[in-house]
């Protein structure tokens, strides 16, 4: 099965409308990861077909559940996940990708330039020290750190009334029970097209 077919089946399953240009950008992004991975070890996955399912489509499972937002911060973005896939299919939303590792930041900046993503900015730094001039409507992470640390480290960068989205595998019940009382959360099960792996989206809001 071709990468294009895997992508199309996945997008249809997730209910994501797309243009041929967006599909081309998504597959070009996978090509960039594959190329850079040979030197920079961005991901343990080396098979492009698995990159489409395990990285691209996995990142896009949150797309149907995105609350209204104008600005999004992707914390611990790594190779640009989930920020770059979401930015490709949400061109009207401004994304900032944050990671502490220089090699990952170099890759993300190269990818953003190569793919022509005018709605993406890349920053190098640690979440707990990142203090942007303007706070974000939405802050998202994919397997970044514990739910508690994610909430505590990123809350200062969240706009009033904003939300934190933590993408997780198995439901981290112990982490959720350890959240401070000033945070509320909801949980939505996610399904990655073509994968049987367990996924959950945790939406966290600060209690006034």
List the chain pLDDT tens, one digit each, 208 residues. 899 999 999 999 999 999 999 999 999 999 999 999 888 878 888 899 999 999 999 999 999 999 999 999 999 999 999 999 999 999 999 999 999 999 999 999 999 999 999 999 999 999 999 999 999 999 999 978 899 999 999 999 999 999 999 999 999 999 999 999 999 999 999 999 988 889 999 999 987 7
Which CATH number does the domain housing residue 153 bear? 3.40.50.150
Beta strands in 19-149 (DSSP E): 71-75, 94-99, 120-124, 136-142
Whether the bond into 87 is cis, omega within 30 of 0? no
Round to whole Å and give the CA distance between 10 and 122: 27
pTM (two decimals): 0.95
Containing domain of residue 58, as a range? 3-206
Structural domain count, the chain = 1
Place of tokens 């920079």: 40
Structure tokens that stand for 160 in this block? 């009033």
Round to whole Å and give the CA distance between 23 and 42: 22
The alpha carbon torsion through 109, 111, 112, 115 (nearest 10 deg) reads 160
């Amino acid at each position: 099965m071709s990468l294009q077919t895997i992508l199309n089946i996945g997008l249809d399953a997730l209910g994501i409308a797309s243009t041929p240009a967006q599909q081309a950008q998504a597959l070009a992004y996978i090509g960039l990861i594959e190329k850079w991975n040979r030197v920079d070890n961005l991901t343990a996955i080396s098979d492009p077909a698995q990159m489409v399912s395990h990285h691209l489509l996995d990142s896009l499972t949150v797309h149907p559940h995105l609350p209204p937002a104008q600005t999004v911060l992707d914390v611990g973005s790594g190779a640009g996940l989930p920020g770059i896939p979401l930015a490709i299919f949400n061109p009207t939303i401004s994304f900032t990708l944050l990671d502490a590792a220089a090699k990952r930041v170099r890759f993300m900046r190269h990818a953003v330039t190569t793919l022509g993503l005018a709605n993406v900015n890349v920053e190098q730094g640690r979440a707990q020290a990142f203090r942007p001039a303007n706070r974000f409507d939405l802050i998202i992470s994919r397997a970044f750190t514990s739910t508690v640390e994610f909430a505590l480290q990123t809350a200062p960068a969240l706009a009033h009334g904003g939300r934190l989205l933590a993408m997780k595998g198995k439901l981290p019940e112990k982490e959720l029970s350890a959240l401070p009382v000033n945070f509320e959360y909801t949980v939505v099960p996610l399904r990655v097209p073509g994968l049987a792996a367990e996924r959950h989206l945790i939406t966290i809001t600060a209690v006034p």
